Amino acid sequence: MLEYSMLYPKSTASRRAVPLNGMWKFRLDENGTGRQQGWTDGIPGADWIPVPASFQDFYTDKDTREFTGDVWYETDAFVPSEWEGGQVLVRFGAATHRAEVYVNGIKVTEHEGGFLPFLADVTEIVRYNAHNKLIVKVNNELTETNIPCGQTITLENGKKMSKPYFDFFNYSGLQRAVYLMSVPTEAIFDFDLTYELEGIEGDYAKTAKIAYHVKTNGGHLVKLALFDENGEEAASAEGKDGILEVRNARLWQVRNAYLYRLVVQILDDSLVLDEYEQEIGIRTVEVKGTDILLNGKPVYLRGFGKHEDSDIVGRGFNIGVMKRDFELMKWIGANSFRTSHYPYAEEIYQMADREGFLVIDEVAAVGLFASMMNFMEASTGKQTAFFEKETTPILLKAHLKAIEEMVARDKNHPCVIAWSLLNEPETTNEAAVPYFKEVFEKARELDPQHRPRTFALVMNSTPGACKCYQFSDIIALNRYFGWYVSGGYEIVNAQAMFRKEMDSWRALNLNKPFIFTEYGADTLASEHKLPSVMWSQEYQKEYLEMTHSIFDSYDFVKGEQIWNFADFQTWEGILRVNGNKKGVFTRQRQPKDVAYLLKQRWESLPLDFKAGGVALPEGRSHNG
């Protein structure tokens, strides 16, 4: 069962985690014949490439950037002799979108799903006190039976091409960290935590009860100890199931994080057989009526839809970019973001834990709407009956597996306050209903904390047409009135259409919180024009002022996450000028003019904005 552990690699008293990041051998497999030619034993004539990173943007030729098919990676990993007698594992943070792994020429595992970790047990295959050859074949083809969805076509010259049903570039490869790990034969491979608070006053609870369930592959005693930030023991317990009771517990709060250190051990008398530790935050999250509650108090989300996207490394994890992004989010007054449109690298959640950001964690279920331009065509009311396909059961299986892996990996992060289970799917056909039912029930079943579940509704998912909004605990809307619909001088019509839809939602009296998970306007940082035109900085400002006035008019709207944090790469086309330009910041992480408008707004909004259902009069926007 340890193969399916999602615990982040750490070195402890009983474990070793050695990163294999660096320069790996690399080669495209243009003809898909690498396996037949023996590349599982070594890649001939290979180039060198950084890991972790996307492979596309290092090179200067278009065939490599657009390459669709198999790519091969190779490195050597030294396994010390002292690891013999335990378990030796290799762990990949992600391989996009599917991978086969070979050690010393022997296939050790395969995995489908490009944004979550997987492990291979190589204990019986590695040579000890020697170098071992690690080879990975990664395939980045898009299909309708795996998430994210799309097509792979063949051009007239015989080359394959990715045709995504989503509006971001199909970056791929070994985009996250790779580790070689040693763990004991009897080991901890998972634990669940739930929280109950009593007597909350300010940043503290008189008592916090942390119910836990530890999973191991043996029968020895399990012991837990919880330490505060001063290193003092705050609670302890024994057994695989039980309760840690913390007196005068410091709570994890929005932008005011406090983290305890949980140490879990397997003991044989006084001998430590295994040890794992993780920072945790004591907090509760729930939806009550139209409020999103953290530690029983209403919170108003302000922040972003984001992407893992930056120059040169593409979607590869970049620790420097991560740091810059969090500093910009703090500067602008944000408190939240959605991991659009896939689970992010684990280090980003660890950072959000430390910084007190609220995260809507999204599985890679994007493109479940058969259109290369769903952001445009859904606005026209187009319907695709996506879930009526013969292949839908295969897609559902992959989708459920990805949810299982995401929840297993991220369930103990205090920053994760909700699960987003789909982005902009086709919901206007009855065939979507049983699909959604399974997806939402699986997420509830898997999460011990029963966090709120949601999905982002595309523009044709209106109150009268959407068959699936009832499954969401939080109604999340992606709306582009004033951009894809009635932009420019027609913005007055866009505002009227927007209000008409919001009035229709209000008439349903759902008694649920609404948040906007996307809204925005493409803007070139270089473009200024008076009077404004679309794509100018002036128009982006006018668009936001109109949009915010709508948000502020409805008491059930409890959050706004603008699209997008920063400009990002997409496929090329007449609607995209070298990428999506809806960023508040440029791709190089510098502010556009609208960043200052958002900073003024967000810093003026109280954390409990509209708590108890108080909205501003129609037509007015909160400006502090």
| DSSP label at residue 387 | G
Lookup result for tokens 């080879």: 135
Pairing outcome for strands 70-79 and 22-29: antiparallel
Nearest by Cα to 53 from 142, 180, 179, 171: 171
CB 585 within 8 A of CB 329: no
The residues pairing with 264 across neighbouring beta strands, listed in sequence order, are 224, 276
424 given a catalytic annotation:
yes
Query: How many CA atoms are closer than 13 Å to the CA of 24, on its beta-carbon side?
Result: 30
CB atoms under 10 Å from CB of 455, counted, come to 29
Helix H, strand E, coil C: the string for 456-506 is: EECCCCCCCCCCCHHHCCCEEEECCECCCECCHHHHHHHHHHHHHHHHHHH
Q: What are phi and psi of 588, to 5 degrees?
A: -90, 10
* Other C-beta atoms lying within 10 Å of the C-beta of residue 155: 10
In the block, tokens 């959050």 appear at 559
Residue 502: closest CA among 544, 574, 466, 550:
550
Identify whether 531 is preceded by a cis peptide bond (ω within 30 of 0). Answer: yes
Q: Are strands 301-305 and 557-563 parallel, antiparallel or unpaired?
A: parallel
Judge whether 518 counts as a catalytic residue.
Answer: yes
DSSP 103-160: ETTEEEEEEE-TTS-EEEE-TTTSPTTEEEEEEEEEE---BSSSSSBEEEEE-TTS-E
How far is it, in rounded angstroms, from Cα 66 to Cα 572?
A: 11
Given the residues 404, 518, 527, 560, the one annotated as active site: 518
Single-letter code of the amino acid located at 67: F
Picking from 273, 257, 253, the residue whose alpha carbon sits closest to that of residue 265 is 273
Q: DSSP assignment, residue 580?
A: B
State the pairing for strand pair 514-518/557-563.
parallel
Question: How far apart are the two ends of the chain, measured CA to CA in Å?
Answer: 54
User: For residues 586 and 527, is the Cβ–Cβ distance under 8 A?
Assistant: no
Q: Select which of 424, 426, 527, 560 is catalytic.
A: 424
Instruction: Give residue 598's identity as a one-letter amino acid code.
Output: L
Which one-letter amino acid corresponds to residue 248? Answer: N
Residue 118 CA, chain-centre distance (Å), reads 16
List residues with catalytic annotation. 424, 518
